[in-house]
Structure 1
Amino acid sequence: MVQERQLQGNGVCWSLRLWSATVISILLLSTCFIVSCVVTYQFSMDKPNRRLSELRSNHYNVTCFSEGTMVSDKVWNCCPKDWKPFGSHCYLVTRGTSLASWNKSEENCSRMGAHLLVIHSQEEQDFITGILRTHASYYIGLWDTGHRQWRWVDQTPYEESAT
């Protein structure tokens, strides 16, 4: 009888240890999950502020304009000084004298929080050709990913029929 009670006591002890380990594991996993949620939230909330501060550091003066005729239809957009607005985008035509490569040009744009030109419509293409010098050369944000798979630098696919 004494041996049976000892065996039952050992079984209860092991069962209690197993449940304790399970509860501790669940608590640790829950804590990790909550911490990761808080960190993710902080990064996502900080991103717009970081983007705004990047724009402020790159562009001290901005010009704002509105589209639409009625107050309810107006959409305000802002472009840095000397940039040209069209639709919801801003364009800067650089007339540098150096012969930078395509990669270097894209890198320069990236430092300003921008990218090389991406053409979304025929209207946009007409606007762009209207502000460019006729006999000058310019880079655009179109690149070949391999085997004539053209893509824009903003990762949109190139549609030959669109422009």
Structure 2
Amino acid sequence: MRSKVMILGMMMLLLLSGCSDPVQDDLLNYINEDLKDLTVLEEEALAEYESVTGDNYEDDYTTYVHIKDVVMPAYKDFLDQLEEVKPATSEVQEIHELYIDAVNMQNNAFIKILAALEQQDYEMVADANEMLADGRAGIRKYTNQLEKLADEHNVELTE
């Protein structure tokens, strides 16, 4: 998931056509301006999550406190700022909504992980992990749709 976010965060758009295209202009603004700083916030929040999960897991208490005190505030800040982005065209708005939906899914998964750790409910942890996977799938869908729209409007996405 981080690699997709990093790729998106590092994308630079190159204009291939001199024709005026509102969607093309909106895509350029969306990637180069609107998302430029937001991808850094997302990467930082996800890195904090990864710092206490998987191979970095120490114990439930450490994980709980770190998610509650560090990950959740950082991810919520990212989500709030993401929701403030208002693309100018309906085509970019639709794709942006895919991103918001995926990020909301992941945010809800973090909330569920906290509840699961509080209750020591490992089935709930499994459900939350499934929600995280669904969020990652949503981000992949968003990225694919963004690439498709860019291609349709003669915009090249590069790293």
TM-score by length of 1: 0.27
The structure whose Rg is larger is 1
Task: Flag the structure with higher helix content.
Answer: 2
* Structure 2 length-normalised TM: 0.27
User: Which structure has the highest strand share of the two?
Assistant: 1
Structure scoring higher RCO (CA < 8 A, sep ≥ 6) equals 2
